[in-house]
């Protein structure tokens, strides 16, 4: 249930309304939107009568019941106002959200060495990325496959952040590593395989850093939003949802099926920002560009693209990784698509190169 409070209501009156509603098993949560103040009521609301609540104060504008099982994640909870997740980075604040410029996230699947991640970070920044994403702890199907350089890779990511100013996104698999990861990461990623690891969701809900929640490979949209609800309910309001493809019957030609339809669906259901990951969705580098452009056309707020300096030698996910040059060219196309659909582009990533060979000269130096 939410209470929409009239514009201009004093903080004292809002506090009084909160007090009036105070009951065991009921949490009130006040959020200041751009235009309205909204008090959300979560928990045992069955004895609450919307008409009675309306009489608590003349400052109450409307009282609405949220029928969906996800409450805080629902669009109704913010009375139709889309939220922005603002991430402070050394290069400045970057906002994710429906009304914010498109955010370009890129990086190798795994952080393989210090020089590899630092050089790649410079190349990605030059091509127009705002965030460097790379795995230090890798969820691998085989226990014999490369598992990531763990704490060492976190240090290398910190160096790349310090040298380039790019924000860092990296995955947490085990709550025991969360503090070390949150020390380095600007956004903490929960991967597809952990989307329903509820104890991990509660833990990332208790930290201050924003969380990137990838959709489980077999998760329904409702299950995904219920997982986001765990993080929000634990006190962390900064959640970004990332579609990375789902399992369907055909895995011969694509790794997963890219569910671009989540974009308009999520827009109806939730206020949370949306990211799309065409790399894990398709599993093949030649399909990444068309899918990235389609995601922009459908209105995604951000993209995550895997980029490796030498995909043939990558320790994980080489077949789906672009080279830095391919990423540069894709970014140029993404700007055109963003313009075509009226989505602003981050001013920090306006191209500084006039063409590919100009970019290549830089990349050779970096
Ligand atoms: C990743 O982002 O590198 C990853 C392992 O993705 P997912 O959790 O979507 O499989
Ligand atoms: Mn990967």
pLDDT in 10s for each residue of the chain, 366 residues: 999 999 889 999 999 999 988 888 888 888 887 778 899 998 888 888 889 899 999 999 999 999 999 999 999 999 999 999 999 999 999 999 999 999 999 999 999 999 999 999 999 999 999 999 999 999 999 999 999 999 999 999 999 999 999 999 999 999 999 999 999 999 999 999 999 999 999 999 999 999 999 999 999 999 999 999 999 999 999 999 999 999 999 889 999 999 999 999 999 999 999 999 999 999 999 999 999 999 999 999 999 999 999 999 999 999 999 999 999 999 999 999 999 999 999 766 555 677 888 888 777 666
Partnered with residue 304 across adjacent β-strands are 105
Q: Which ligand is nearest to the CA of 139?
A: 1
CA of 280 to the centre of ligand 2 (A): 6
CA of 152 to the centre of ligand 2 (A): 19
Q: What class is the 2-65 domain? A: alpha beta
Distance CA 259, CA 291 (A): 10
Distance CA 157, CA 169 (A): 9
- Ligand 1 and 139: CB distance under 6 A: yes
Q: Tell me how many degrees the CA angle 123-108-168 measures, rounded to the nearest 5.
A: 75
Distance CA 137, CA 151 (A): 8
Do the domains spanning 2-65 and 85-365 agree at the CATH topology level? no
CA of 302 to the centre of ligand 1 (A): 16
Choose the residue to mutate in 135, 181, 192, 216 for probing ligand 1, maximizing ligand atoms within 8 Å of C-beta: 192
Q: What class is the 85-365 domain? A: alpha beta
- Ligand 1 and 283: CB distance under 6 A: no
Strand-pair category, 167-172 with 131-133: parallel
Structural Rg of the chain based on CA atoms: 21
- Ligand 1 and 280: CB distance under 6 A: yes
CA of 48 to the centre of ligand 1 (A): 42
Q: Which atom of ligand 1 is nearest to the CA of 214?
A: 9
Which among 349, 346, 351, 261 has a CA at the least distance from the CA of 86?
346
pLDDT score for 251? 83
Q: How far is CA 156 from CA 81, 112, 163, in A?
A: 38, 9, 11
Q: What are phi and psi of 13, to 5 degrees?
A: -70, -35
Query: Buried b / exposed e across 100-125, counting CB within 10 Å, b at 16+?
Result: bbbbbbbbbbbbbebebbbbbbbbbb
Q: Which atom of ligand 1 is nearest to the CA of 189?
A: 2
Q: For the chain, give every domain's residue range.
A: 2-65, 85-365
SS3 268: helix
Ion ligand 2 — residues with CB < 5 Å: 109, 317
Choose the residue to mutate in 185, 189, 246 for probing ligand 1, maximizing ligand atoms within 8 Å of C-beta: 189
Q: Is the dihedral of CA 256, 261, 263, 265 positive or negative?
A: negative
DSSP 111-151: ---HHHHHHHHHHHHHHT-SEEE-BSS---SSTTS----HH
Q: Tell me how many degrees the CA angle 175-146-142 measures, rounded to the nearest 5.
A: 80
Contacts of 327 (CB under 8 A, 6+ apart): 106, 123, 124, 127, 129, 305, 307
Contact 157, 117 (CB under 8 A): yes
Q: Which atom of ligand 1 is nearest to the CA of 304?
A: 2
pLDDT score for 365? 64
Contact 237, 38 (CB under 8 A): no
Distance CA 4, CA 59 (A): 9
Q: How far is CA 248 from CA 259, 298, 315, in A?
A: 10, 21, 26
CA of 316 to the centre of ligand 1 (A): 11
- Ligand 1 and 192: CB distance under 6 A: yes
Q: Tell me how crowded residue 207 is: count the other CB atoms within 10 A of its CB.
A: 20
Q: Which atom of ligand 1 is nearest to the CA of 139?
A: 5
Both tokens assigned to 261: 């339809």
Q: Which ligand is nearest to the CA of 138?
A: 1
Q: How buried is residue 132: exposed, middle or buried, by Cβ count under 10 Å (0-12/13-18/19+)?
A: buried
- Ligand 1 and 165: CB distance under 6 A: no
Q: Is the dihedral of CA 99, 190, 124, 279 positive or negative?
A: negative
Q: Tell me how crowded residue 168 is: count the other CB atoms within 10 A of its CB.
A: 28
- Ligand 1 and 107: CB distance under 6 A: no
pLDDT score for 24? 85
pTM score: 0.95
Q: Which ligand is nearest to the CA of 308?
A: 2
Choose the residue to mutate in 187, 193, 283 for probing ligand 1, maximizing ligand atoms within 8 Å of C-beta: 193
């Amino acid at each position: 249930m939410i209470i929409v409070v009239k514009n201009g209501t004093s903080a004292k009156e809002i506090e009084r309304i909160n007090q009036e509603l105070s009951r065991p098993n009921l949490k009130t949560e006040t959020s200041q939107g751009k235009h309205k103040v909204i008090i959300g009521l979560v928990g045992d609301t069955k004895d609450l009568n919307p008409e009675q609540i309306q009489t608590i104060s003349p400052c109450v504008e409307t009282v609405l019941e949220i029928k969906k099982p996800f409450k805080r994640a629902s669009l109704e909870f913010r009375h139709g106002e889309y939220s922005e997740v603002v991430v402070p980075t050394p290069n400045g604040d970057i906002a994710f959200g429906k009304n914010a410029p498109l955010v370009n996230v890129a990086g190798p699947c795994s952080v393989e060495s210090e020089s590899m991640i630092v050089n790649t970070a410079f190349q990605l920044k030059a091509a127009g990325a705002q965030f460097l994403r790379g795995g230090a702890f890798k969820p691998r199907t085989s226990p014999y496959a490369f598992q990531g350089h763990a704490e060492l890779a976190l240090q290398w990511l910190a160096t790349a952040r310090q040298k380039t100013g790019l924000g860092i996104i990296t995955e947490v698999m085990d709550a025991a590593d969360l503090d070390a990861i949150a020390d380095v990461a600007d956004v903490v990623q929960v991967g597809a395989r952990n989307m329903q690891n509820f104890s991990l969701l509660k833990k990332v809900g208790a930290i201050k850093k924003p969380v990137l929640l990838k959709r489980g490979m077999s998760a329904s949209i409702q299950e995904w939003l219920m997982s986001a609800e765990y993080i929000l309910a634990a006190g962390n309001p900064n959640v970004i949802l990332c579609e990375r493809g789902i399992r369907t019957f055909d895995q011969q030609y694509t790794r997963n099926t890219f569910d671009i339809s989540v974009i308009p669906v999520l827009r109806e259901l939730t206020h949370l920002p949306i990211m799309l990951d065409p790399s894990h969705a398709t599993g093949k580098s030649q399909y990444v560009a068309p899918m990235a452009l389609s995601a922009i056309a459908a209105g995604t707020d951000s993209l995550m693209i895997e980029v490796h300096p030498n995909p043939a030698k990558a320790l994980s996910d080489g077949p789906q990784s672009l080279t830095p040059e391919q990423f540069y060219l894709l970014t140029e196309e993404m700007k055109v698509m963003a313009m075509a659909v009226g989505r602003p582009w981050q001013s920090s990533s306006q191209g500084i190169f006039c063409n590919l060979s100009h970019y290549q000269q830089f990349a050779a130096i970096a």
